[in-house]
């Protein structure tokens, strides 16, 4: 009952739609109020007094949840934004095929369907609910640059064996990106052992933080090898130098970030993440 009391909506109705939008917690609400109060008190100096530190706090908490390093996490605006930066980092001159599952959320395919010269191939489902990971091998070859698919299918709830899919992709020389937006907060995700190259997810659904953010994890040895062609000032090595003439990306995953994030949602996400972290600690101690 303690956890139920964190969510006012549960006193009013039975809520079963976290796959679309997670319930708002009192902690998230308090974090947003804190953001507003600091805005009133500090004005623009709140950026340096507290807000930049909050973004870093969120990055660290997310890394801890995923058993990853903080330097491996970028905070972006949406899955679409995260996919855009990754898509702009890849070389399609020799490998121009991107393999996507028929059951994936459309955003995953859209990113490459609109990219000139890239061929998008859909892996079909035999039962409209699941896809045997071995089916991916039928569509991945030496032309494949990337396999991009979901960890949990949004419409059916089926959990994919993404480690096996990544193995098949790597055997053909391709990279593997996983959309984990429906997975984070529902199932354990350990990025140190999952075997994928990129992983995206965020607070909108099961992490109880609301819309407007996405977390992007990039395999550590890939980070400095990739230079996004879509970027923003948060990705600049010397962000506050305001150097218009030169661009050098940060050395860590922040090179995949874009512009100013939605600060109120950073705070909301921190409130939701506090609950996730507390529950995880409680379950681990039980």
Cα–Cα distance, 203 to 266 (Å, whole number): 9
The predicted-structure confidence for 13-23, as pLDDT tens digits, reads as follows 999 999 999 99
pLDDT confidence bin for 286, thresholds 50/70/90: low
**Would the CA dihedral through 257, 258, 259, 265 be positive or negative?**
negative
HSE (CB half, 13 Å, CA atoms) of 82?
29
Angle, CA 50 vertex, CA 234 and CA 44 arms, to 5°: 75
pLDDT confidence bin for 285, thresholds 50/70/90: low
Give the neighbor-by-neighbor strand order of the sheet with 73-76.
Answer: 73-76, 214-218, 198-201, 175-179, 144-150, 97-101, 119-123
The predicted-structure confidence for 151-197, as pLDDT tens digits, reads as follows 999 999 999 999 999 999 999 999 999 999 999 999 999 999 999 99
**CATH (one of 1.10.260.40, 3.40.47.10, 3.40.640.10, 3.40.50.800) for 27-285:** 3.40.640.10
Instruction: Tell me if residue 203 falls in helix, strand or coil.
Output: coil
Q: Is the per-residue pLDDT at 1 higher than 60?
A: no
pTM for the whole structure: 0.96
Read off φ and ψ for residue 265, nearest 5 degrees: -80, -25
**Would the CA dihedral through 62, 64, 67, 73 be positive or negative?**
positive
* pLDDT for the residue numbered 2: 82
């Amino acid at each position: 009952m303690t956890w139920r009391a964190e969510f006012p909506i549960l006193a009013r109705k039975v809520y079963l739609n976290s796959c679309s939008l997670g319930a708002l917690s009192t902690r998230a609400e308090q974090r947003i109020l804190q953001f507003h109060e600091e805005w009133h008190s500090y004005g623009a100096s709140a950026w340096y007094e507290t807000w930049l530190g909050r973004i870093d706090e969120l990055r660290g908490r997310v890394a801890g949840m995923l058993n990853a390093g903080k330097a491996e996490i970028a905070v972006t605006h949406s899955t679409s934004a995260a996919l855009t930066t990754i898509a702009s980092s890849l070389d399609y001159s020799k490998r121009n095929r991107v393999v996507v599952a028929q059951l994936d959320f459309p955003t995953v395919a859209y990113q490459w369907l609109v990219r000139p010269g890239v061929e998008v191939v859909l892996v079909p489902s035999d039962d409209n609910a699941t896809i045997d990971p071995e089916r991916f091998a039928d569509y991945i070859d030496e032309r494949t640059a990337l396999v991009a698919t979901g960890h949990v299918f949004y419409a059916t709830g089926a959990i994919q064996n993404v480690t096996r899919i990544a193995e098949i992709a790597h055997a053909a020389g391709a990279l593997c990106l996983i959309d984990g937006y429906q997975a984070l907060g529902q199932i354990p995700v350990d990025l140190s052992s999952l075997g994928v190259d990129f992983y995206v997810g965020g607070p909108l659904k099961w992490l109880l933080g609301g819309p407007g953010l996405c977390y992007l994890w990039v395999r550590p040895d890939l980070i400095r090898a990739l230079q996004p062609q879509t970027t923003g000032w948060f990705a600049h090595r010397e962000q506050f130098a305001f150097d218009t003439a030169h661009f050098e990306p940060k050395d860590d995953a922040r090179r995949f970030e874009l512009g100013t994030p939605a600060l109120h949602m950073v705070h909301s996400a921190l409130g939701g993440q506090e609950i996730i972290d507390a529950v995880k600690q409680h379950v681990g101690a039980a």
